[in-house]
Amino acid sequence: MSVDETPQEAAPEQPAVLDVDVVGDRMLASVEKGDVSVVVEAPSGTSEDEFEATLDDIPKRIERTAELFA
């Protein structure tokens, strides 16, 4: 494939960009991956594991919600 050719398939995994800000007793975390952005607000003591569990569940919740409106 030459440099000018477009790949036939996109990369299966794009890196996620995570940004966390703490303001007072609240924490705001944003995650961007490709065309999707998610913002989560939580108490400032929320652990990384709790955030990961919340974010991992989002695709399933989106699918479930979409099925309700299909």
φ and ψ of 21, to 5 deg: -125, 135
Amino acid at 29: A
Confidence of residue 59 (pLDDT cuts 50, 70, 90): confident
- In this predicted structure, the answer to whether residue 11 has a pLDDT above a threshold of 60 is no
Residue ranges per structural domain of the chain:
17-68
pLDDT higher than 70, residue 3: no
The pTM of the full predicted model, rounded to 2 decimals, is 0.46
